[in-house]
Amino acid sequence: GAVVSQHPSRVICKSGTSVKIECRSLDFQATTMFWYRQFPKQSLMLMATSNEGSKATYEQGVEKDKFLINHASLTLSTLTVTSAHPEDSSFYICSANREAEQFFGPGTRLTVL
C-alpha cells in the first residue's frame, strides 16, 4: 500500500513556541492532504484540507492563523502550530488520498508544557 510519513513522531515543547510537523507521501503524488487532531479516547477530528498550490480549507472552529498549513509540493504538506499552548497537546495525524483510498501517516504526538 501507499506510504505516508510524518516527522517528527513525537515532540515536547515549551508553551509559546512554534512546532512544525511534516507530512510526506513517499510513493505517490497527493494533490490533497488532510490534517486531523485526536484527543485521548476521542475520534479523529478533521482540522483542514491541504491543497497543493493553494490555500488550505479549514474546518469550522479551527484557527487558520494558529495552525498554518503549507502544501508546497505534491508530496509534502506541513502543519505549523504557532505559539503552542498546553491545550494544543494532542495527536496530530495527516492523510493523503490515492485514488479512492486514504492513507494515514503514523501521527505526531505533541506535548506542550
In the complex, the residues that contact another protein under the rule CB under 8 A are 34, 42-46, 49, 91, 93, 95, 100-107, 109
Q: Which is nearer to another protein, 82 or 91 (CB)?
A: 91
- Min CB(92)–another protein separation in Å: 10
In the bound state with another protein, the residue whose beta carbon lies nearer, of 67 and 103, is 103
**85 grid coordinates:** 499552548
Nearer to another protein, 24 or 105 (CB): 105
Least distance to another protein, CB of residue 78, Å: 18
Give the nearest distance from C-beta 48 to another protein in angstroms: 10
CA separation for the pair 7, 94 (Å, rounded): 11
Closer of 81 and 105 to another protein (Cβ) = 105
Tallying the residues shown for the chain, one arrives at 113
Nearest to 110 by CA among 76, 72, 79: 79
In sequence order, which residues have a C-beta less than 8 Å from that of residue 1 and are 6 or more positions away? 101, 103
In whole angstroms, the minimum distance from the beta carbon of 16 to another protein comes to: 27
Instruction: Tell me the C-alpha distance between 6 and 21, whole Å.
Output: 7
* β-bridge mates for residue 96, sequence order: 33, 103
